Amino acid sequence: MKKFLYTFLIFFVLSLFAVQSVFAAAPPQKDGVIFSGSISCGKKIALTFDDGPHPYKTLKILDLLDKYGVKATFFIIGSNAEYHPEIVAEEAARGHELANHSYSHAKLSVMTEEEIRGEIELSDKIIEKASGITPKLFRPPEGAYSENVVKVASELGKSTIIWTVDTLDWAKTPRDTIVENVKTSVTSGSIILFHDFTNKDTHTFEALEILIPYLQEQGYEFVTVSELLAENN
């Protein structure tokens, strides 16, 4: 009986290691697209801001991130960066990650490979000119990816990143709804989607003012998406 118990215990412990190694492996992917960091990355999460740079909304967010020592990732639209290269340079200077969100924010999933390549490469060039940095990450507009989108991004040396938590801030979602949504959905490895450029007035900034200190108090550490993904290795 004792021997049986020992054998059982050994198998139990070994199976725990097996489960652990599965979790510690590559980031969760579907169709070659990344939706989050690994759950075993510790309490690390990534704030992402799409569609900028915006002439004043982005700077306001940058100051708030500095106040709390938070590093974030900006998924930049090339055509907006053309108008405000100085803000792209500012994002880089303050230690944030610059990522590619296409040139014109068109629906890439219905485009040819050539057209997709053109959208990504043109945006890269503008970001490079503004900051000297070539983005390693790509997020298709509206998260609409296809096999071609993922393939072209990969050929251009980029990982395709979607998100774990969508705040729907662009749709003028009330501050408290954004806050509650993030509080209840966030887990280790979450990639959280916000927008620093919107045509409408949104509650993005007010929600961040509450969420950043709250999540830090909960022990979460804000890292860039590349840092989050490096935790999987």
Using CB under 5 A as the binding rule, the residues of this chain from 51 to 70 that contact Zn ion are 51
Number of residues that bind Zn ion (CB under 5 A): 3
Q: How far is the CB of 149 from Zn ion (least distance, A)?
A: 14
Nearer to Zn ion (CB atom), residue 146 or residue 232: 146
Amino acid at the residue 209: E
The tokens describing 89, both together, are 């340079």
CA 195 – CA 167 distance, rounded (Å): 9
31 has catalytic annotation:
no
Q: Which residue is nearest to Zn ion (CB)?
A: 50
Closest CA to 228 of 201, 188, 196, 195: 188
Question: On the CB side of 99, how many CA atoms lie within 13 Å of its CA?
Answer: 26
Out of 37, 44, 50, 160, the only residue in the binding site for Zn ion (CB under 5 A) is: 50
List of residues 6+ apart from 34 with CB closer than 8 A: 27, 28, 159, 160, 161, 162, 191, 229
Q: How far is the CB of 105 from Zn ion (least distance, A)?
A: 6
- Quick note: the x/- pattern for Zn ion over 113-152, rule CB under 5 A, is ----------------------------x-----------
Give the catalytic positions in this structure: 50, 195
Chain positions contacting Zn ion, by CB under 5 A: 50-51, 141
